[in-house]
């Protein structure tokens, strides 16, 4: 009981607290609030504490005082448990609300209280107004719903809806844009104008407008917010233009969201009003926008459905898929009309018949397996199998089986079939081409590789023999290269046609394919004389021959001929495959032929050939390369080519190789030095090409070592010649006989002191360059003065540009044809001005020398030590006869005449000087006995010219006849002796008596005679004087003697 009361109390408490209207309890005696509910607190704004501190009178409006007093007094006084009246209450914020209060008398605690409910009359009024104002909108909504629900024509209904909306909210234009969220663009779809009977056509220029063109608008719409404002406040030129063109001044854009997808937006425009849309209108439009969005979306989906259905119908009827329904035994229950297009047969052909009646025999067992499988599975895919078309051709089809045996209305196995003939055949062709390409492309002999390729063709079941014919290198014949057969047929066939292995164009089927260059099928060849091997075909029971030309870029390489026992009609599919294969293997056959040709050339070529990978490693090389480098084959292959290259050339070679690889460098060749095993240098000039597919560089080289050496020598020789010409001042010139202009070398211009830029050596200009006195040499006809092939020399003068005279020597030769016709003049010109000058000087010098020699007594001699010969010049006096040129020996004419006392020592002396490697000269004196027996005195001097080892080469000397001077010397000596005697006499002998005289006079004067008398002194003086006189006489005599001798000598 207590629990029940408590439970009820809780319920009442909850009901009081959660009541939607303000409720309170106040003390009837004190009029104070005892309890208030949350709604009262919320609506009135007072807190619970504030309520508890207030009386009911404080809440009542002061304007309602009379009522208020009555209200309160009535309440206290009223014995009615229930009261109801309208009052005005003051909220905490000072505003007033009208309320209808309903009160009941209760016991609260131990107090008598009033329970009051206050119903806010303001809200009720507002809601009432609201409801009234919504009536037009609700009516419109109802109308619109009717339009949309009951219509068949969606667009007509939409137009009417827009009409209704437009009238309700008084807008002039409503338009709708649909978004493409993938592209983030929007497109103009619907447009309604006030008074229009139908939608305007959508604007083509307003399709797929990117969202970015309407950034500020789209952002808001994407956030499910609307956009409202004057048209000129829009930040997008295109939409401004769009609206202004429609005379819209104010726009409201509302986004359309359908199932959380931003479907598009709808715009409401006013041309006469720029004020904001009122809230009611806005709400209505917002509701309508959402509603219309769903309608539009649904309408779209409906259109898509209709379209899909039509498509489906179209697919079913006209598609590539064939749809059939089979029962569990494989009998056709239904076949779609597409069997007409796919197989060329009506569905009736198949319905009711077994699937297995049609399938290619070989494929039946597998199909049976699949059928068993599908009974247990939901679906399976069947690999391609063969099925006949209306014409009896086998088509490859692929089927997807789906088990719908338990699906109502189907109750069968649905087979979705696609014709994959082209795909299968293409795959077969591709596989065959790949296999043949691999087989033919393998390294090996041409015939073997082609044979392996042909073997693959025989895998096509109905071909029994295949052979390949190739055009001969001279392109005149077609030769049988290889053949292959799947059984003994080949032996019989070729046994009977072994001689026919080379044909001309047009001859037989191979020749026919050569001339026609197209796939050719000959049937019944055993009876067709055109087929040259008809007899062999008959013997081998071969009926059909298929000729497949092998072409490479329009070039006919040859053909493949395939033979079959079957007729053409049974081979159509095979023929297609073979034709497709033959179209594609032309390239590999060409490559093989080229490869074989190249390999042959590669291997037998005398020039080094090498294939280098892009990595710089040698992949392949020929014998010539190996022999050149003198290494073994295994020491070269797969090694880096740079290890055989001279270290100075490695970098350049690799750089150039890389450039060629990158196809940057289009230079034609690389010249590199290679080092052989023995350290020899070989210069190789490489030419090649890169094959980017194989990543190799194929190169052929030429050993230009000798050539370079010769060139180098030639270059050096030419340089030396140039230098020699320069040093020797020799120029070269040549002139075609019938041409006026000569071709001069650099030195020739230099000799003439002319420049190639300013001087053209024509006959006239050259003649002007000749000294006037020598011009006759050039003006005459050269052929008159020159003998063909013989060299003629001329020395003449030329005038330089500055007028200086130079002497030149020209050597000219005339070249003629075999018939003697002059064709060319060539010559050399040498500046001999200096030589001429020296010659003149030498002439003068020689003359001076000759005169000097004539005037002197010297005999010039020269010894050639190599030949041991002595050459002597002439002497003016020639005191004796001697040999001018004779052997240098002690027994020659010179030494044999030497005084015996002087000969040996002179011979020894001169030879000692010659032997002494440091001695540069020699001098000696000796006597020669002249023919009259008198002695001739010679002073001999020479200078010795030695080689690097100090051995004498030449000695040049002069022998001076000093006989006269020697005699003169003797005389002089004698005279000197006399003179010295005189001087001595003067000094000693004369002075002696004189000093006596001087002493005596001194004695007399200074020492009083020294004890002697004057007479005695005088006597002594006289004796001394006499002595003096004697001496003087002696001197005079001697002087006279000398004078006499001088006179005699002078006369002599």
Partner 1 sequence: MKIHEILLIDDDSVTNFVQKKVIESEFENFSIEVFQNGLTAIDYIHKNPKKSYLIFLDINMPVMNGWEFLEAITNDKYFYNLKVFILTSSLDLSDMRMAEKHQLGSSFLVKPLKREVLKEIKLNYGVKNAI
Give the residues lining the site for partner 1 (CB under 8 A). Answer: 983-984, 987-988, 991-992, 994-996, 998-1000, 1002-1003, 1006-1007, 1010-1012, 1020, 1023-1024
Q: Give the separation between CA 1038 and CA 10, rounded to whole angstroms.
A: 197
What are the tokens at 665?
């460098």
Output the DSSP codes for 781-845: -HHHH--BT-EEEEEEEEE-TTS-EEEEEEEEEEEE-TT--EEEEEEEEEE-HHHHHHHHHHHHH
The answer to whether residues 890 and 903 touch, using CB atoms and an 8 Å cutoff, is yes
User: Toward partner 1, which CB reaches closer, 517 or 1012?
Assistant: 1012
Residue 390 φ then ψ, to 5°: -60, -25
The answer to whether residues 521 and 509 touch, using CB atoms and an 8 Å cutoff, is no
User: Toward partner 1, which CB reaches closer, 11 or 998?
Assistant: 998
> 63 burial class (0-12, 13-18, 19+ CB within 10 angstroms)?
exposed
What are the tokens at 205?
């220029």
- Can you tell me whether residue 258 is helix, strand or coil? strand
Residue 413 φ then ψ, to 5°: -100, 120
Shortest Cβ 999–partner 1 spacing (Å): 3
Question: Looking at the DSSP assignment, which residues form a beta bridge with residue 55?
Answer: 32
Rounded to 10 degrees, what is the CA torsion of 699, 703, 705, 708? -80
Q: Give the separation between CA 456 and CA 324, rounded to whole angstroms.
A: 37
Tokens 């005695």 sit on residue:
1016
Question: Looking at the DSSP assignment, which residues form a beta bridge with residue 945?
Answer: 954
User: Toward partner 1, which CB reaches closer, 88 or 996?
Assistant: 996
Q: How is residue 199 annotated by DSSP?
A: P
User: Toward partner 1, which CB reaches closer, 163 or 1004?
Assistant: 1004
Give the distance from CA 991 to its chain's centroid: 123
Q: Give the separation between CA 616 and CA 656, rounded to whole angstroms.
A: 12
> 40 burial class (0-12, 13-18, 19+ CB within 10 angstroms)?
buried
User: Toward partner 1, which CB reaches closer, 776 or 1002?
Assistant: 1002
User: Angle CA(61)–CA(64)–CA(67) in degrees, nearest 5?
Assistant: 130
Sign of the Cα torsion 446, 452, 457, 458 reads positive
User: Toward partner 1, which CB reaches closer, 12 or 1002?
Assistant: 1002
What are the tokens at 1028?
């003096």
Return all residues near 165 (Cβ < 8 A) that are at least 6 apart: 140, 144, 171, 174, 268, 284, 285, 288
Shortest Cβ 1043–partner 1 spacing (Å): 24
Centre a 10 Å sphere on the Cβ of residue 122 and count the other Cβ atoms it contains: 13
Shortest Cβ 1015–partner 1 spacing (Å): 15
Give the distance from CA 181 to its chain's centroid: 45
Shortest Cβ 973–partner 1 spacing (Å): 18
Shortest Cβ 972–partner 1 spacing (Å): 20
Q: Give the separation between CA 733 and CA 750, rounded to whole angstroms.
A: 12
Side-chain half-sphere CA neighbours of 597 within 13 A: 8
The answer to whether residues 371 and 356 touch, using CB atoms and an 8 Å cutoff, is no
Residues in the chain: 1052
E strand spans, 901-969: 921-929, 935-946, 952-961
Please name which of 960, 924, 921 lies closest in space to residue 942, comparing C-alpha atoms: 921
The answer to whether residues 863 and 870 touch, using CB atoms and an 8 Å cutoff, is yes
Output the DSSP codes for 549-587: EEEETTEEEEEEEEEESS-GGGGHHHHHHHHHHHHHHHH
Tokens 């050597």 sit on residue:
811
Shortest Cβ 1031–partner 1 spacing (Å): 11
Please name which of 695, 701, 700, 699 lies closest in space to residue 615, comparing C-alpha atoms: 695
Shortest Cβ 1009–partner 1 spacing (Å): 9
Return all residues near 537 (Cβ < 8 A) that are at least 6 apart: 493, 525, 526, 531, 543, 545, 563
Shortest Cβ 1007–partner 1 spacing (Å): 5
């Amino acid at each position: 009981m207590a629990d029940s009361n408590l439970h009820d109390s809780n319920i009442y408490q909850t009901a009081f607290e959660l009541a939607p209207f303000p409720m309170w309890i106040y003390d009837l005696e004190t009029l104070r609030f005892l309890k208030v509910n949350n709604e009262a607190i919320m609506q009135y704004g007072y807190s619970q504490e504030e309520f508890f501190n207030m009386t009911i009178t404080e809440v009542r409006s002061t304007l309602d005082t009379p009522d208020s007093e009555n209200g309160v007094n009535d309440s206290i006084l009223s014995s009615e448990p229930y009261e109801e009246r309208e009052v005005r209450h003051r909220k905490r914020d000072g505003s007033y609300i009208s309320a209808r209060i309903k009160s009941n008398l209760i016991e609260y605690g131990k107090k008598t209280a009033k329970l009051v409910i206050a119903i806010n009359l303001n809200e009720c009024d507002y809601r009432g107004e609201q409801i009234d104002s919504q009536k037009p909108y609700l009516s419109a909504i109802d109308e619109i719903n009717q339009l949309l629900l009951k219509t068949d024509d969606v667009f007509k209904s939409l137009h009417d809806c827009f009409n209704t909306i437009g009238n309700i909210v008084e807008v002039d234009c409503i338009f709708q844009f649909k978004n493409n969220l993938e592209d983030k663009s929007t497109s103009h779809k619907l447009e309604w104008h006030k008074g229009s009977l139908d939608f305007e056509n959508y604007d083509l220029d307003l399709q797929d407008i990117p969202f970015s063109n309407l950034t500020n608008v789209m952002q808001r719409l994407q956030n499910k917010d609307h956009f409202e404002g004057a048209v000129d406040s829009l930040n997008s030129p295109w939409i401004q233009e769009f609206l202004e063109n429609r005379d819209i001044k104010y726009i409201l854009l509302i986004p359309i969201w359908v199932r959380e997808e931003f479907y598009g937006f709808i715009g409401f425009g006013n041309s006469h009003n720029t004020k904001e849309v009122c809230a009611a209108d806005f709400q209505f439009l917002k509701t309508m926008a959402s509603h219309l969005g769903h309608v539009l979306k649904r309408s779209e989906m409906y259109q898509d459905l209709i379209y899909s259905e039509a498509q489906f119908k179209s697919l079913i009827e006209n598609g590539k898929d064939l749809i059939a329904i089979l029962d569990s035994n494989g009998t056709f229950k239904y076949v779609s009309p597409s069997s007409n297009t796919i197989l060329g047969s009506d569905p009736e052909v198949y319905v009711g018949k077994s699937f297995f009646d049609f399938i290619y025999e070989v494929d039946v067992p597998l199909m049976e397996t699949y059928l068993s499988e599908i009974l247990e599975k939901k679906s399976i895919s069947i690999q391609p199998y063969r099925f006949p078309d209306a014409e009896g051709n086998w088509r490859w089809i692929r089927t997807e089986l789906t088990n719908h045996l338990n699906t109502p209305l189907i109750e069968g196995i649905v087979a979705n079939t696609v014709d994959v003939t082209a795909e299968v055949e293409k795959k077969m062709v591709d596989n065959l081409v790949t296999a043949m390409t691999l087989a033919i492309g393998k390294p090996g002999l041409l015939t073997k590789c082609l044979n392996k390729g042909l073997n693959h063709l025989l895998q096509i079941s109905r071909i029994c023999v295949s052979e390949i014919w190739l055009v001969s290198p001279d392109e005149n014949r077609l030769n049988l290269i290889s053949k292959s057969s799947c059984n003994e047929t080949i032996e019989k066939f070729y046994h009977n046609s072994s001689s026919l292995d080379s044909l001309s164009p047009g001859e037989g089927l191979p020749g026919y394919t050569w001339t026609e260059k197209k796939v050719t099928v000959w049937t019944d060849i055993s009876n067709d004389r055109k087929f040259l091997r008809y007899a062999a075909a008959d013997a081998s029971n071969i009926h059909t021959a298929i000729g497949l030309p092998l072409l490479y870029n329009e070039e006919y390489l040859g053909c493949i001929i395939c033979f079959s026992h079957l007729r053409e009609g049974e081979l159509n599919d095979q023929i297609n495959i073979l034709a497709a294969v033959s179209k594609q293997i032309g390239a590999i056959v060409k490559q093989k032929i080229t490869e074989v040709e190249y390999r042959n050339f590669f291997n037998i070529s005398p020039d080094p050939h090498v294939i280098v990978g892009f990595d710089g490693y040698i992949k392949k090389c020929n014998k010539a390369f190996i022999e050149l480098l003198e290494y073994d084959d295994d020491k070269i292959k797969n090694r880096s080519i740079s290890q055989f290259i001279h270290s100075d050339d490695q970098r350049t070679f690799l750089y150039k190789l890389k450039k060629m690889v990158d196809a940057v460098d289009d230079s034609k060749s690389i010249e590199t030095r290679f080092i052989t095993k023995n350290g020899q240098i070989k210069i190789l000039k490489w030419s090649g090409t890169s094959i980017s597919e194989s990543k190799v560089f194929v190169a052929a080289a030429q050993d230009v070592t000798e050539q370079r050496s010769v060139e180098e020598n030639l270059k050096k020789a030419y340089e030396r010649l140039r230098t020699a010409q320069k040093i020797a001042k020799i120029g070269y010139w040549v002139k075609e006989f019938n041409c006026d202009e000569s071709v001069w070398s650099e030195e020739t211009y230099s000799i003439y002191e002319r420049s190639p830029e300013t001087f053209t050596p024509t006959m006239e200009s050259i003649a002007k360059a000749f000294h006037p006195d020598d011009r006759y040499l050039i003006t005459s006809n050269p052929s008159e003065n020159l003998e063909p092939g013989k060299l003629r020399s001329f020395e003449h003068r030329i005038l330089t540009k500055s007028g200086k005279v130079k002497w030149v020597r020209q050597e000219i030769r005339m070249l003629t044809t075999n018939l003697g016709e002059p064709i060319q003049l060539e010559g050399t010109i040498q500046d001999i001005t200096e030589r001429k000058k020296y010659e003149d000087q030498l002439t003068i010098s020689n003359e001076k020398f000759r005169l000097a020699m004539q005037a002197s007594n010297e005999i010039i001699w020269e010894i050639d030590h190599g030949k041991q010969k002595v050459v002597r010049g002439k002497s003016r006096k020639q005191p004796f006869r001697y040999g001018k040129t004779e052997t240098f020996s002690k027994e020659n004419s010179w030494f044999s005449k030497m005084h015996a006392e002087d000969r040996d020592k002179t011979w020894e002396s001169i030879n000692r000087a010659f032997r002494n490697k440091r001695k540069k000269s020699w001098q000696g004196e000796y006597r020669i006995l002249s023919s009259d027996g008198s002695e001739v005195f010679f002073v001999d001097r020479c200078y010795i010219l030695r080689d690097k080892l100090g051995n004498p080469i030449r000695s040049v000397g002069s022998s001076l006849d000093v006989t006269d001077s020697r005699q003169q010397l003797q005389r002089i000596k004698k005279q000197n002796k006399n003179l010295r005697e005189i001087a001595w006499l003067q000094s000693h002998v004369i002075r002696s008596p004189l000093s006596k005289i001087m002493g005596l006079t001194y004695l007399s004067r200074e020492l009083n005679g020294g004890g002697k008398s004057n007479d005695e002194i005088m006597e002594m003086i006289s004796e001394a004087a006499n002595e003096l006189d004697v001496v003087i006489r002696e001197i005079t005599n001697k002087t006279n003697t000398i004078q006499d001798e001088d006179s005699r000598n002078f006369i002599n």
